[in-house]
Amino acid sequence: MTTLRPLNYFSRDSFLRTDLTAGVLRSQGGTRLLGVGEDFLRGFVTACEHETGPATVLILRRCGHFYGAGLARRCEAELSGYLGRALRDCTMNEFQVLIEDLWRGFGLGRIQIDWSLGKYGFLAIKLTSSPMQDIGPKGHLSDDMFAGVLEGFFGHFASDGLTCVQTGDARMGDKEGTTFVLVPQESAPRVHALITARTSHSKIVQQLSE
């Protein structure tokens, strides 16, 4: 079934509605929103490092997971109302366009997902211009918060538990960019072992597909 509604729901100008008197920002569907800037994010990470030290990595991931799961719930409800049918009844092409538009519209960067790998039980993801890509714990070059965001978001739609593992980081010179795989929890140790062996993202994807 082809929807008659435009699929650029999140990135068009009419998505955001402001009430200057009340000081409230809402989405077109009525969800209350909060915008945060880079200074806030840097301050948050710095405060976590000061208070929790090495636990910051885990805290950022847990915060991301909480945000990702909540984002998925809210957006599923809002999109289902907008489309006039359940989001889960959309075709994969429609779902892909909507998710990519959501990432842009919410200022989360650009997301590229290889949906064809779903037949092997996992997904490969490339993330560009994440708000957190240059804001992380000192000496730890990885996008922990967005690994959690991806895990929480896509875990909402998966019937089985998924784990998100980062397989590459553009800041570390990885030519394939900042990449992740979403795999069943039982497959995570295998992915971590491949990363420890300095296996590239593309080769990890290849081995998981075999």
What confidence tens digit (pLDDT) does each residue in 87-111 have? 999 888 899 999 999 999 888 889 9
92 domain-assigned: yes
What confidence tens digit (pLDDT) does each residue in 30-79 have? 888 888 888 888 888 889 888 998 898 899 899 999 999 999 999 999 99
Residue 16 has phi, psi (to 5 degrees) of -95, 135
8 domain-assigned: no
7 domain-assigned: no
Q: How far apart are CA 205 and CA 193, in angstroms?
A: 13
4 domain-assigned: no
Question: Does residue 158 register a pLDDT over 80?
Answer: yes
What CATH number did the domain enclosing 109 receive?
3.30.1380.20
Range of the domain at 41: 13-209
Q: How far apart are CA 151 and CA 8, in angstroms?
A: 23
Count the neighbouring beta carbons within 10 Å of the beta carbon of residue 157.
Answer: 13
Q: How far apart are CA 193 and CA 209, in angstroms?
A: 16
Question: Does residue 163 register a pLDDT over 90?
Answer: yes
Count of structural domains within the chain: 1
Write the Ramachandran bin of 167: left for phi over 0, alpha for psi from -120 to 50, otherwise beta.
alpha
